[in-house]
């Protein structure tokens, strides 16, 4: 069994932002040499997500409005978690969107449907944060 | 290490529908010959889910009403993603319900609790769509 | 390839409660002897979650209020699933928070970011329920 790990670093310009990280994760897979196995991709921070969905700007604006409706950032004082921090909403948004994805590796590539793309979802950005890529297989 | 992959195809009669796919996925596990390992089951489309919950019709009606409250389909014009498409709500519903499950394989069977069943959750159906089953182990 | 499984049992004092299970899951990892691989941790019951977030009491109170807003427990009669049962809301809360996490194992420990902790999220408690830990690797 082979195993591979790598950390990918991101710093977004906005508090909330979606970054298509499929090219970087695919480069990890190439480096790993794994042909058959599983690839775990997870946010290492608890106010961010990794998820798979569509690379379409309109949808990302819809996500922004929708998550602000489900778990509004402001007023910061509505959350017990806030005080020294102001990011309780980010902890909730990350639960809706998920911490991680597990992707099948088949014949050396991601075993994706036609529109699947891997995103880093940032809900408390403007600072350096990490995603972990762990691949096991043969 | 053994590895196995199979695509399962579904076409629902309604736009939104829940299908218990446990028997088909168990058949995949039997075919794989894997006795100890992990089984990934994921929607290959970004407007559908794979999740584990209860096989109870009342609950599925509750899910339908609840998801329509959290991310209503109509009016289609409320979403930037819609225009050529009308399925922005389906992309959101899939985030709440999840893309995938990873199930432990122990002694050749799914290592399930008493009520766990695997569902395909369709939010933009009436056309042929796929689920991927990937199993690794020994 | 090594594989390891263990069931962890929990009985919460309240209907809804969050339990930090990181120490018990880490003990499983130590027992397994796996140095490189993947660790699946999942609720075996469909009205509970396993998720990764912050070990902070204020945030857990925020989760409680937020989930009660998204999928209120009462009135019980609002859900078709209820009748003999009263836990439809728990099935929904578990979908928002997730069934499982998959954690990378690197050099014999969890490959965690600075604040990641594994939680058992109970939404229909006061009875004995189980979490499954399955580890594969070398």
* Dist. CA A50–CA A37, nearest whole Å: 19
A37 and B91: CB-CB below 8 Å? no
Residue B30: the pLDDT is 98
Residue B98: the pLDDT is 98
* Dist. CA C84–CA B115, nearest whole Å: 16
ipTM of the complex, rounded to two decimals: 0.97
Residue of A nearest to B136 (CA): A37
Calculate the CA dihedral of residues C85, C88, C90, C91 and round it to 10 degrees.
Answer: 120
Question: How far is the alpha carbon of C11 from chain A, nearest alpha carbon, in Å?
Answer: 24
User: Model confidence at A136, in pLDDT bands (50, 70, 90)?
Assistant: very high
DSSP B132: E
Q: Give contacts of A136 with chain B, Cβ < 8 Å.
A: 136
Residue A122: the pLDDT is 98
Q: Of the candidates C72, C59, C77, which has an alpha carbon nearest to the alpha carbon of residue C121? A: C59
Instruction: Go through chain B and tell me how many residues it has.
Output: 138
Q: Give contacts of C136 with chain B, Cβ < 8 Å.
A: 36-38, 136-137
Question: How far is the alpha carbon of C135 from chain B, nearest alpha carbon, in Å?
Answer: 8
* Dist. CA B51–CA B102, nearest whole Å: 9
Helix, strand, coil % over all residues of chain C, rounded to 5: 30, 35, 35
**Cβ-nearest to B102 among C79, C82, C102:** C102
Residue C108: the pLDDT is 98
Query: What's chain C's average pLDDT?
Result: 98
Q: Give contacts of A36 with chain B, Cβ < 8 Å.
A: 1, 3, 136
Q: Which chains lie within 8 Å of chain C at 3 or more CB pairs, if any?
A: A, B
Residue B18: the pLDDT is 98
Question: How far is the alpha carbon of B132 from chain A, nearest alpha carbon, in Å?
Answer: 8
C116 and A44: CB-CB below 8 Å? yes
Residue B117: the pLDDT is 98
In tens, the pLDDT along C26-79 reads: 999 999 999 999 999 999 999 999 999 999 999 999 999 999 999 999 999 999
In tens, the pLDDT along A69-126 reads: 999 999 999 999 999 999 999 999 999 999 999 999 999 999 999 999 999 999 999 9
Residues of chain B predicted below pLDDT 50:
none
Q: What percent of chain C has pLDDT over 90?
A: 99
Structural domain boundaries in chain B: 2-137
Cis (ω within 30 of 0) for the bond into C7? no
B53 and C94: CB-CB below 8 Å? yes
Count of alpha carbons within 13 angstroms of residue B52, beta-carbon side:
30
Q: Are B122 and B19 in contact (CB under 8 A)?
A: yes
Q: What percent of chain B has pLDDT over 90?
A: 99
Disruptive mutation site among A2, A3, A45 for chain C (greatest number of C CBs within 10 Å) = A3
Question: How far is the alpha carbon of C87 from chain A, nearest alpha carbon, in Å?
Answer: 20
In tens, the pLDDT along A44-75 reads: 999 999 999 999 999 999 999 999 999 999 99
User: Which CATH number is associated with domain A2-137?
Assistant: 2.60.120.460
Work out the number of other CB atoms within 10 angstroms of the CB of residue A22: 18
What is the SS3 assignment for A49?
A: strand
What is the SS3 assignment for C84?
A: coil
Q: How many CB pairs under 8 A join B and C?
A: 89
In tens, the pLDDT along B19-34 reads: 999 999 999 999 999 9
């Amino acid at each position: 069994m082979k195993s591979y790990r790598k950390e990918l670093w991101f710093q977004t310009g906005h508090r909330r932002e979606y970054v298509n990280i499929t090219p970087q994760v695919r480069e990890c897979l190439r480096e790993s040499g794994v042909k058959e196995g599983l690839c775990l991709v997870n946010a290492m921070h608890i106010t961010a997500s990794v998820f798979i969905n569509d690379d379409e700007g309109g949808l990302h604006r819809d996500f922004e409005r929708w998550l602000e409706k489900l778990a509004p950032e402001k007023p910061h004082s509505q959350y017990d978690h806030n005080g020294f921090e102001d990011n309780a909403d980010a902890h909730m948004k990350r639960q809706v969107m998920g911490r991680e994805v597990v992707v099948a590796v088949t014949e050396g590539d991601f075993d994706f449907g036609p529109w699947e793309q891997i995103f880093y979802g940032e809900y408390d950005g403007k600072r350096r944060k990490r995603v972990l890529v762990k691949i096991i297989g043969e």
